[in-house]
């Protein structure tokens, strides 16, 4: 099993496509941090204009913690695509290039092969998030310094003390990992059904866009299904920056996300084990 | 070659919806032989080979490899099989050596780095081992495919159309390589090929399948020994030759005559007698060409089955 995982990781590590995610994250984070470094104060003043009527604002509003929070909000839209680019290709890409049939003639069960692919995909996702953490939080703190985090919500302003923030970010990354694992599992499941490497990536994104649209529309019919859509729960990391925390809501969402991972992977195992390899 | 069966297939069938790709196939392959699986396009050869490697699950039937049922001993059996199915595909962004290391490592048999180098040397790719596979020609990929099939020293080698895309030199090298695997290393080889003359040259046994069923199976020598040959004689005096042939009782049947060329259907043993007859009739023999018997046999058998 270790050998299988090692070679799956080797394939990911040596494939140029795998580095698109790292490149895009680096570019976006550097772009945002540079822009905020040059023109951040004006931007912050514009955002906090309305607050100045009610509060006296002192101290450093723009700091590394706020930068990380802004970057997380921005990148959560792109991250699923970056993940699907790799995981959506794991089975179908191999089928398209003909290596799947060679791989399946080796003395491993199909379940072991799929498990190795899921594990390698998860490790890739983890590395992508660690890289995001290093750039967004690490570089942010280095450039903009420490400070309290002011979170502006529609109806409230939440101020989190400097020593109360790090664990929230850590947990946010854990929830982001679970959320993106849902996308990885979905694209891997779709990857089992086709021999075309682009199809699963596009369909995964189409599903995410569709679910997100349903989630944002205030139509009574959709209210009944919103709860069951994984996209509704993918943004639950934001609730970690509430005060007080609604643990019930967070745990429910995490549970639903894990449920989706389980269902998608179970379906992938079921189908992949029975699939006739004709490509 | 022994009579010990390496592969036994009984009543094997695979249906894709209403299409019967394989329909009650029976085969028997003995240890240490080269077995040719022949059939038209769509006869069921590739589906059969894929079922042997568990890529496709049979609808019904039984496959026994090395004396054990394939699906209940799949991992153990597959570790002792090497294969090329349809075309050799590899990870194009990796080097030939890395590709080979990867597939060797997944064979669950100990394969040393030295063995990998030797195998690359054996198939003539040592000089390009470090190059990415995407820079390889089809012939080179085919040779790498063969290296992949034998690197873990399997007892049974399954080759589906291994000569596809090879130039004449490549085909000769492949033939020698397959014969070496059998003669010097004692391997059992099952191969399918469209080049029937190649199969005739190297196979010990064969089966012809048609519409997913075995229509004939047995030793190549035995199956072809009863067959008449089509032989083309290029003579100096066609009229005299024709008259000599028509007056002879053993000279077979005259099929065609163009200028100084005569095509005769002969019994296998009578070729030398006809040559003497033509020489005695005052002809100079310029050329004698025997058409490959397996091609004739294959066409005859499959036409009859149709």
Burial class (CB in 10 A: 0-12, 13-18, 19+), A171: middle
pLDDT of residue A117: 92
pLDDT at position A247? 87
- B13 in contact with A, Cβ within 8 Å: no
Q: How many residues appear in chain B?
A: 306
Kindly give, in sequence order, each residue whose CB lies less than 8 Å from that of residue B250, ignoring residues fewer than 6 positions away: B267, B270, B273, B274
> Both tokens of residue B164?
């596809």
Q: Which residue has the higher pLDDT, A52 or A43?
A: A43
pLDDT tens by residue, B76-119: 999 999 998 888 889 999 999 999 999 999 988 888 899 999 99
Task: Give the percent of chain A with pLDDT over 90.
Answer: 27
Distance from the Cα of A188 to chain B's closest Cα (Å) equals 19
Cα A111 from chain centroid (whole Å): 25
Confirm if B35 and B158 have CB atoms less than 8 A apart. no
Q: Does A105 touch chain B (CB under 8 A)?
A: yes
Q: Which of A97, A108, A274 is facing B106, going by the closest CB pair?
A: A108
Question: Do A107 and B107 lie within an 8 Å CB cutoff?
Answer: yes
pLDDT at B158: 93
Domain coverage including residue A122: 2-274
The closest alpha carbon to B53, from B79, B29, B23, B33, belongs to B79
Is there a cis peptide before residue A244, judged by omega within 30 degrees of 0?
yes
Which chain A residues are Cβ-neighbours of B83 within 8 angstroms?
A: 105
Q: Is B108 on the interface with A (CB under 8 A)?
A: yes
In a domain, A210, yes or no: yes
Structural domains of chain B, count: 1
Which tens digit of pLDDT belongs to each residue from B134-182? 999 888 888 899 899 999 999 999 998 888 777 788 788 888 888 888 8
The CA–CA distances, whole Å, from A140 to A64, A68, A145, A169, A272 equal: 4, 7, 7, 13, 43
Taking the CA of residue A102 and the nearest CA in chain B, the distance in Å comes to 8
For tokens 């899921």, what's the residue?
Answer: A118
pLDDT in tens, B289-306: 766 567 667 777 676 666
Q: Over the stretch B3-27, which tens digit does the pLDDT of each residue have?
A: 668 899 998 999 888 888 888 888 8
In a domain, A279, yes or no: no
Mean per-residue pLDDT, B274-294: 77
Contact B48, B59 (CB under 8 A): no
Asked if the structure places residue B81 within a domain, the reply is no
Q: Cα–Cα distance between B25 and B9 in angstroms, integer?
A: 7
pLDDT category, B251, cuts 50, 70, 90?
low
Whether A11 and B90 lie within 8 Å, measured CB to CB? no
- Domain with B233 in it: what CATH number? 3.30.70.100
Alpha-carbon span B151 to B137, nearest angstrom:
21
Q: Is the ipTM of this complex over 0.95?
A: no
The pLDDT score that the predictor gives to residue B306 is 64
pLDDT in tens, A139-162: 888 888 888 887 777 677 788 888
Is A10 in CB contact (< 8 Å) with chain B? yes
Region B51-63 average pLDDT = 91
Contact B107, B79 (CB under 8 A): yes
Higher-pLDDT residue of B218, B234: B234
- Please give the DSSP secondary-structure letter assigned to residue B81: E
Where does the pLDDT of residue B286 fall: very low under 50, low under 70, confident under 90, or very high at 90 and above?
Answer: confident
Q: Which residue in the set A4, A15, A101 is minimally distant from B106, CB to CB?
A: A4
Distance CA(B146)–CA(B144), nearest Å, equals: 5
B164: in domain: no
Domain membership flag for residue B237 = yes
Summarised one tens digit per residue, pLDDT across range A53-112 is: 666 666 677 888 888 888 888 877 778 888 888 888 888 888 888 898 889 999 999 999
Candidates A91, A65, A198, A75; CA nearest to A128 is A75
CB B188 within 8 A of CB B262: no
The per-residue pLDDT of chain B, averaged, comes to 84
Number of domains in chain A: 1
Instruction: Provide the pLDDT confidence category of residue A235 given band limits of 50, 70 and 90.
Output: confident
pLDDT bracket for residue A263 (50, 70, 90): very high
- pLDDT of B148 reads 92
Write the pLDDT tens digit of every residue in A7-24: 999 998 998 888 988 998
A49 vs B114, which has greater pLDDT?
B114
Mean of per-residue pLDDT scores for chain A: 86
Long-range Cβ contacts of A42-51 (<8 Å, 24+ apart)? A47/A152, A51/A152, A51/A157
- B117 closest CA partner among B104, B107, B106, B108: B104
Dihedral sign for Cα atoms in the order A193, A198, A201, A206? negative
Q: How far apart are CA A179 and CA A212, in angstroms?
A: 14
Q: Say yes or no: B90 contacts chain A, CB-CB below 8 A.
A: yes
CA of A96: which chain B residue's CA is closest?
B89
Contact B105 A16 (CB under 8 A): no
């Amino acid at each position: 099993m270790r050998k299988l995982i090692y070679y799956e990781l080797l394939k990911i590590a040596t494939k140029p496509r795998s580095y698109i995610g790292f490149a895009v994250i680096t570019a976006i984070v550097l772009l945002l941090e540079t822009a905020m470094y040059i023109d951040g104060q004006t931007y912050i003043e514009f955002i906090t204009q309305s607050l100045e009527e009610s509060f006296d604002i002192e101290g450093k509003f723009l700091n590394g913690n706020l930068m990380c929070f802004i970057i997380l909000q921005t990148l959560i839209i792109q991250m699923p695509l970056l993940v699907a680019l790799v995981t959506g290709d794991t089975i179908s890409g191999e089928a398209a290039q003909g290596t799947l049939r060679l791989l399946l003639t080796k003395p491993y069960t199909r379940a072991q092969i799929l498990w190795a692919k899921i594990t390698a995909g998860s490790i890739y996702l983890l590395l992508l998030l660690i890289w995001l953490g290093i750039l967004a939080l690490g570089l942010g703190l280095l450039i903009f310094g420490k400070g309290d985090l002011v979170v502006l919500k529609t109806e409230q302003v939440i101020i989190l003390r400097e020593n109360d923030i790090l664990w929230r970010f850590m947990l946010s990354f854990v929830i982001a990992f679970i959320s993106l694992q849902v996308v990885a599992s979905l694209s891997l499941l779709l990857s089992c059904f086709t021999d075309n490497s682009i199809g699963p990536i596009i369909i995964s994104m189409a599903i995410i866009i569709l679910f997100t649209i349903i989630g944002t529309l205030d139509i009574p019919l959709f209210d009944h299904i919103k709860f069951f859509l994984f996209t509704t729960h993918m943004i639950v990391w934001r609730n970690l920056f509430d005060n007080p925390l609604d643990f019930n809501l967070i745990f429910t969402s995490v549970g639903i996300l894990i449920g989706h991972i389980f269902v998608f992977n179970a379906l992938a195992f079921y189908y992949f084990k029975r699939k006739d390899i004709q490509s | 070659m022994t009579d010990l069966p390496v592969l036994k297939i009984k009543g094997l069938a695979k249906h894709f919806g209403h299409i019967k790709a394989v329909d009650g196939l029976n085969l028997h392959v003995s240890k240490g032989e080269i077995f040719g699986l022949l059939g038209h396009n769509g006869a069921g050869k590739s589906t059969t080979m894929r079922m042997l490697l568990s890529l496709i699950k049979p609808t019904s039937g039984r496959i026994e490899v090395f004396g054990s049922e394939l699906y209940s001993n799949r991992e153990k059996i597959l570790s002792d099989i090497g294969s090329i199915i349809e075309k050799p595909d590899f990870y194009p962004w990796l080097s030939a050596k890395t590709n080979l290391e990867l597939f060797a490592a997944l064979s669950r048999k100990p394969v040393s780095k030295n063995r990998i180098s030797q195998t690359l040397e054996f198939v003539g790719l040592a000089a390009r081992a470090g190059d990415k596979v995407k820079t390889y020609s089809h012939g080179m990929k085919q040779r790498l495919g063969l290296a992949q099939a034998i690197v873990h020293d399997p007892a049974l080698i399954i080759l589906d159309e291994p000569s596809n895309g090879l130039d004449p030199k490549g085909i000769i090298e492949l033939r020698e390589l397959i014969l070496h695997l059998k003669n010097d290393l004692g391997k059992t080889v099952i191969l399918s090929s469209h080049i029937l003359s190649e199969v005739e040259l190297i196979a010990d046994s064969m089966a012809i399948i048609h519409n997913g069923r075995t229509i004939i199976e047995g030793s190549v020598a035995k199956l072809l020994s009863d067959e008449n040959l089509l032989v083309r004689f290029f003579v100096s005096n066609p009229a005299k030759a024709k008259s000599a042939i028509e007056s002879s009782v053993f000279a077979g049947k005259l099929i065609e005559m163009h200028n100084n060329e005569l095509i005769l259907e002969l019994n296998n043993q009578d070729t030398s007698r006809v040559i003497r007859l033509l020489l005695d009739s005052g002809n100079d023999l310029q050329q004698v060409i025997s058409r490959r018997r397996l091609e004739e046999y294959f066409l005859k058998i499959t036409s009859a089955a149709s």
